Amino acid sequence: MNDTGLTDTAPAKITARGVQVYYGGTHAIKDVSVDIPDNTVTAFIGPSGCGKSTFLRCINRMNDTIAVARVEGDIRIDGEDIYDRRVDPVQLRAKVGMVFQKPNPFPKSIYDNVAYGPRIHGLAKDRADLDGIVESALRRAALWEEVKDRLAQPGTGLSGGQQQRLCIARAVATAPEVLLMDEPCSALDPIATAQVEELIDELKQNYSVVIVTHSMQQAARVSQRTAFFHLGHLVEYGETGRIFTSPEDPRTESYISGRIG
């Protein structure tokens, strides 16, 4: 059943084969194989604790920061093994941006928040260049009009939805190729959620977006492909429309119809 993830339509950006994740003695991800195409939004759905966030964090090696976590298997981006000994996770994370569940702007100004990534990666030649990067990132996150007059004010002073869009702008500013989003709307109200979803839809033009969500409606609204995780297994993976209308696996069906999870 795990090779349901290998149905291929677009060229794959991320390929995972036989991924296992252990947290100490817990086997959190069991033999997951999946191909994630470029320029699409891929949603990971499933009940709490099913491993969807854990798997997402494998893609930019954020699990490295957890001492007890151990990842086995093969994950490739553009054919390069990201768990290769020669890969520096710092370099990888510049290529694979991440937006977290809770908006976590730095306690710095809005400008500094967005400029931080470009600064540490040396993406800007001079101040004017950096200003340009910040502006275009904020525009892309649909935040520019709201904050252009108060870039020097603290990012923590924005509303929750604005903070999350600021975090998206911050992730976009480092010019990643893949954008991972871990339940980006769970702390937001419906209006802010709608804004972020609209944004995600635009972002897929340039990035491969992978989003973990609790809300099946959200997965149906924003994603082109959906993966259903259950108890560490990738149960079913395919086109979003098909997953929601005619799921093949009984577990997917009972989750979607609300019987489990």
Partner 1 sequence: MTDATRGNGRAGQGSLLVSDARTARRNAAERRFRIYGLLAVSIGIVALVVLLVSILANGASAFRQTTIRIDVPLDAARLDPSGTRDPAAMAGVTTFRYAPLLREGLAATIAAAGIEAEVDDRALDEMISDESVAQLRRHVLANPDLVGQTVPVEVLASGRIDGFFKGRVTYASAELDSNVTPEQLRLAEELRNAELLRTGFNWRFLTAPDGSDTRPEAAGLGVAILGSIYMMLIVLALALPIGVAASIYLEEFAPQNRWTDVIEVNISNLAAVPSIVFGILGLAIFINFMGLPQSAPIVGGLVLTLMTLPTIIIATRAALKAVPPSIRDAALGLGASKMQSVLHHVLPLAMPGILTGTIIGLAQALGETAPLLLIGMVAFVREYPDAPPDGFFDPATALPVQIYNWTQRADPAFVERAGGAIIVLLLFLLAMNLTAIFLRRRFERRW
Q: Please report, as ranges, the residues that interact with partner 1 according to CB under 8 A.
A: 60, 62, 65, 67, 90-95, 97-98, 100, 102, 104-108, 116-117, 120-121, 154, 156-157, 167, 170-171, 174
Nearest to 152 by CA among 109, 107, 116: 109
Q: Nearest approach, Cβ of 124 to partner 1 (angstroms)?
A: 15
- Compute the Cα dihedral for 71, 46, 35, 188 and give only its sign: negative
- Compute the Cα dihedral for 220, 222, 224, 228 and give only its sign: negative
Please, which residue, 157 or 241, has the CB nearer to partner 1?
A: 157
Query: How does 24-37 read in b/e, with b if 16+ C-beta sit within 10 Å?
Result: eeeebbbbbbbbbb
Q: Are 209 and 203 in contact (CB under 8 A)?
A: yes
Q: Nearest approach, Cβ of 212 to partner 1 (angstroms)?
A: 14
Please, which residue, 18 or 107, has the CB nearer to partner 1?
A: 107
Please, which residue, 98 or 219, has the CB nearer to partner 1?
A: 98
Q: Nearest approach, Cβ of 120 to partner 1 (angstroms)?
A: 5
Q: Nearest approach, Cβ of 41 to partner 1 (angstroms)?
A: 19
Please, which residue, 20 or 156, has the CB nearer to partner 1?
A: 156
Beta bridge partners of 36: 14
- In the chain, the DSSP E strands lie at 12-23, 26-37, 41-45, 69-77, 80-81, 96-99, 178-182, 208-212, 225-230, 233-239
Please, which residue, 54 or 240, has the CB nearer to partner 1?
A: 54
190-203 and 127-140 helices, crossing angle to 10°: 120
Please, which residue, 97 or 238, has the CB nearer to partner 1?
A: 97
Q: Nearest approach, Cβ of 106 to partner 1 (angstroms)?
A: 6
Q: Nearest approach, Cβ of 139 to partner 1 (angstroms)?
A: 19
